[in-house]
Structure 1
Amino acid sequence: MDAVEGDVVEQDQERRTSAEFVYRLTTEDFEEALRARALRVPAGRAQALMAPLVGTVGVIAFPAAAGGVSLPVWITSLVLALGCGCWGSVRGLRTMARRMSSVMEPYGRCRTVADGRSAVTTGERGSFTTDWAMHKEYLETPGLFVLLSGDRSAGIAVVPKRGARGPEDVERLKAILDRNLKRR
């Protein structure tokens, strides 16, 4: 076997053990990732519940400080505070998703190749390598793989499943992630 055949065999073997995704990240991708994080990670739950909790505490504490408020006013204030707090949490996630999307927008169309060592993402204007040690765990949504940097960190990486060359790449990436990260 000559050097060219050896390179072809090596590339074919690498293709069978790596997963390749080509995609352009959208704001909706980041919204889905942040929603999933908010549901499954303690830091995400705390972040999502902070606005409704602060509003509720404020409404409960205000009547005591004001010397008493009638029951209808107190109930109306409580309902409004909870509603505004929930709306603020959802709005906050959308704003964060738009900001994350604007950071990734210059990369344009991305190509991520993941193997047992790392994930290499190449965009139209730059590239970066993510060693698995940078992430502690991952979660899977119907449309994404979301890599999490840790419980107290907001760092995430998003890989949309729609970018896979085929279903075998989705399964390959899932196997790679299972070997290297904790599934949440």
Structure 2
Amino acid sequence: MVEDQGAALQQKSPEEPRGAGADVVELEYTPVVADFTSALRARKGASKAGRRQYWVIGGVAVAAAVQVAEVVSGHGGSPFLGVWLAVFVPLILLSPWLMARQFLRLAERQGTFRVSVTDAGLTVATDNSTTVLNWVAQPRYRETKDVFVMLSPDKNAVGFTMLPKRAVRTPEDVDRLRAILDRNLTRV
């Protein structure tokens, strides 16, 4: 009888699917500017302050249209507005890239990032530190073409963790990672 139970256990275990809690996706990467740029753009779209910047860009576009209409109609126009537009618009559009360069300088000191993602949360280990995050710490996420970005719950998404898609071990891991994030976080 004991032999029958042992044989039954041996037959069941290889064929049983792994439970949701056993699913692990591992990433290993050295950050690059493009990772941070994509993450910061995603964060900008998910935060109130970032969305306000889009309104500012819209206002600047309207001001530029008014400026062009004044010049075309022969009513002159303010040269100050033209200079302001020439400086302000590129600065807003380039801000994620400029900030990404600053983040990269900080991240380079950490060396290689090794991340394990499970249904319990994630562990980020670098050459100098290890951090464990439960899903409560960053309960929402956004996906871009290049990265998954986990975001803190505050309205400006001050805290974020990026998970570059290029860092997964196999292409199927991107879908597994998305499934874990969908089970545990809110997509924004």
Q: What does residue 119 of structure 1 align with?
A: 122
Does residue 1:92 correspond to 2:98, yes or no? Answer: no
Q: Distance in 2 between matches of 1:71 and 1:155?
A: 48
- Unmatched 5+ stretches in structure 1: 2-8, 61-69
CA contact (8 A) 1:52 1:81 kept: no
Equivalent runs, 1:1-184 vs 2, <5 Å = 17-47=23-53, 50=56, 71-74=75-78, 76-150=79-153, 151-184=155-188
CA contact (8 A) 2:147 2:162 kept: yes
Q: Distance in 2 between matches of 1:143 and 1:32?
A: 7
Q: Which amino acid aligns with 2:101?
A: R
CA contact (8 A) 1:146 1:159 kept: yes
SS in 2 for 1:165: coil
SS in 1 for 2:31: coil
CA distance change for structure 1 residues 95 and 85 in 2, over 3 Å: closer, same or farther?
A: same
CA contact (8 A) 1:107 1:124 kept: yes
Deviation at 1:180, TM superposition (A): 1.2
Computing the radius of gyration over CA atoms, which structure comes out larger, 1 or 2? 2
Q: Distance in 2 between matches of 1:131 and 1:16?
A: 16
SS in 2 for 1:134: coil
Deviation at 1:93, TM superposition (A): 2.2
CA distance change for structure 1 residues 149 and 78 in 2, over 3 Å: closer, same or farther?
A: same
Q: Which amino acid aligns with 2:36?
A: F
CA contact (8 A) 1:136 1:181 kept: yes
CA contact (8 A) 1:52 1:84 kept: no
Q: Distance in 2 between matches of 1:109 and 1:13?
A: 29
CA displacement, residues 100-146 of structure 1 (integer Å, 9 cap, x when unaligned): 11221122111100001111011112111111101131111111101
CA distance change for structure 1 residues 134 and 71 in 2, over 3 Å: closer, same or farther?
A: farther
Deviation at 1:152, TM superposition (A): 2.1
CA contact (8 A) 1:108 1:124 kept: yes
CA distance change for structure 1 residues 41 and 31 in 2, over 3 Å: closer, same or farther?
A: same
Q: Distance in 2 between matches of 1:18 and 1:31?
A: 27
Q: Which amino acid aligns with 2:166?
A: R
With the length of structure 1 as denominator, give the TM-score of the two structures.
0.74
Q: Percent identity?
A: 30
Q: How many residues align?
A: 163
Q: Distance in 1 between matches of 2:117 and 2:37?
A: 23
Q: Name the structure where helix makes up a greater proportion of residues.
A: 1
Q: Distance in 1 between matches of 2:56 and 2:104?
A: 24
Deviation at 1:40, TM superposition (A): 4.4
SS in 2 for 1:102: helix
